[in-house]
Structure 1
Amino acid sequence: MQQLQAYLARAPVPGGAPGSKEALVHMYSDLSGQAHSNSAAFRARVAWWTTTLETVQWDGLQGPGATVMRIDAGMPNRWAMDTIGRPLCIAVVVEDAAVHQRYMRLDEFLARAAPLHAKRALYSTVLVDWVAKPAWRAAARIFVADADEVGDEAVWPRVYGEWVLVPNVERAAALFVASLALDPPSMLESIMTRAEMQRRLQALRDPDAGKRVPISDTDAKVLLRYLERDANILVVDDDVVKLVRPTDAHRGIQESDRGILAVRQMHAQLTAQVDELERRVDSARARIMDALRKKQPEETAKSYLRTKKQLEELLGRRVGALETVSQLLLKLEQAAGDAEILQTYERSSSALQQILADPLLQPDRVDKTMDALAESVSQQESIEDAMRTDHVDDDEIAAELEKLALGEEEAKQTSSMPSAPLHAPEPSKASTAAPKEPTTPDQRTPAFA
């Protein structure tokens, strides 16, 4: 109750902030007169209430279970808020959701043979709605219209009972399928009892919320029905449940499947017996030591010892049987794996034969195709050669290359020679004057040596 109130205090409400009192007052008010007078507002409020009811049920805030909602006379009081009062529209919302098969009566959901989203002919729809289904469901559309006149209080008695919230069922089923994809079961693990399957369903976790989904026994029954009828991932026969894998050759439960289940159950039973006998042997040993320590009568210690030996003898037999059954399980698993491998080989061989039967892969056609391909390649090479040599002469290319080489050599030689100055320097005065005669005898050059 307190958790529900806390959720409503922070719930997002159209037209206001989360937990807005004014917006909640509008949502809690009576829907009478809006179905026809203001259809847009009616549909918006119904959509908010259906989503809110589903979220509250999924989180386990109104009773046990995440997929089945129980409606009784006390439900309006559980949803009542101190500052607002009781909601005056839930019954109308439930009947509207029932019209659209968003909510379904529990017994109707379990008894339904066709999938929820199966397409049906018009005549069959009318037949099922007015004959096969309960009378209240056939007249639900009229009841919703009557709600404009009679109000929510008068509709309440018609919605008492247990309702399956289909979106929550689909959500839980999706989580279960995702868990199988992460941890695919082997052939031996895919066969189990209803109780084992129920424990697997009750171990579902919601990764978004980071917690376990509150799956009750009724929820498990609903999910089992949905997974068989709508999701087509398992089959149920009495107390035997089989998860259907993509590699299974047969969808139904075979006698070999029942045999595997019997061996698995015996293995589990023997394992439990061995654990229990080991515990009892340890207890008998402790009694013997306690009797000796307390110096109890010798007959008491002998009695404990005799019991211990009997338990050890029985334990030895059970351990031997457990080893035998374990080896049998290993052989069954090996045989199942071999069968899957051979089945894969058979499918691969069949697929290969179908591919090779294609007319394109016939030897004559392959030879013709390869010859045509070789001829096309030869023609393409001829075209490339013609495009490359039609306008170019090898001698002309050689002559032009030699000319380019000579030009390059001349350019190198020219660049290595020093360049002459543009203007010659004027001679200096000292260099243009006549040489002076020597004035001293020593300076004169003798005429005769």
Structure 2
Amino acid sequence: MIMVNIPSPAVSIVGRHNSGKTTLIERLIAELVARGHDVGSVKHHSHVGLEIDYPGKDSFRHRAAGASETVIAAPGQLARIKTLEGEVECSDIVRSMPGHDIVVVEGYRKSGLPTIEIMRAGNEADARVAEVFAEGARRGWPLGTDFTQFTRGTVPPADDDEAREALRRAQEEAIAAENAHFKTQHPDHVDISNKLPTNNTVAIVTDIEEALRAAELYNVPAFDLDDIAGLATLMEERFVRPRVTVVIQAGGESRRMGRSKATVPFAGRPLICRLVERLAPVADDLVITTNEPDNLAFLHTEFPQYRVQLVCDSFDYRGALPGLYTALQAARNPYVAVVACDMVFASASLVVAEALAMNETGADVVVPVNKHGFEPFHAMYRRMACLPAVRRALDRGEKRAQAFFDDVEVLEFPQSAVLEAEPMGGCFINANTPEELHSLEESFLEG
């Protein structure tokens, strides 16, 4: 089985001390899990000397004896305690947590992650920050403006003395409120001037009217403290890993191969088995389009864990575009990865990279492009946008796979991005003849 670490998307919940971050995260995780998502979480603890083990336990004794890393394993649970130099970057932590639909991070404001900012009226520091946030919105300054620099008059608008003075007073009051609350307990805390919404802020959660109005001016979605369902929906739409149907196009008899490519032997097994094993780990749903479903029925027994669907072509004539239409129509998920069954080195990692690029950019098609042109049969398609566009192209008599590209948003995935996802390359090599397949098989066995 091919092992693929599917990167987990992540969002950070940020706010000042006592703003209600943990409570919000607890309720948000419960809502996302109830909707069927696999959720991971990260808690940032800013104090040196965090101890999650305690004297008397065997694991503590292992560490006390000098072990730099201890793993505690029990049925259904695993914990790892490791001694580190310095602090691990949030991005490294998230990378070490693959396979989740979403990771919810508490803190790490400066991580570069999309952030959801919480401000609570009952928290004096939040109320003061809301004033600064609102003042910036009223003045039309970009989200992410360094308001501290504005108050010092070191950046434009240098002539806006009234605004700078208003911000200076608001910030001084906010910092004083924060300091008075926990300065003695946290002497190394960061002052509140570094705890304002930034251009990474994707939502505001608040019961403060000023903050709600400021969010509206900045065109940032805002939610009431109790609107957990609304916040979860936003996360589903923008950040939760999208469900992907992987479609392997197996067709039927190949004239140049002299027989079905799907069942031609490769390394002692039908070639289609290799494709299933390479791609199934990143598929939420696995479809094989074929005109010989009876000959491929053995896949149900071979791979019962994947509930493989065998789907016949929607049209009685051949062509790349009709085959793509069948793939999109059969898919049950919003993202559809389409791969030809003769691509011996088809890459699950590339499928993941394409899905992430589609999620980040909002493109309807993410298609690799190289000196040979587009590679539409190792590409990602947004079902809702592409299915009607493909149908219109078919009605015009088109048969080329890319004939509908002008009607949708296409993101070209360059060779550099392909190699970043799959350093070994070779993703698009296909076998059309017995000689080509034999050559690929030899190189595979030698490697």
TM-score normalised according to structure 1 size: 0.20
TM-score normalised according to structure 2 size: 0.20
Higher relative contact order (CA 8 A, sep 6+): 2
Task: Write 1 or 2 for the structure with the bigger share of helix.
Answer: 1
Task: Write 1 or 2 for the structure with the bigger share of strand.
Answer: 2
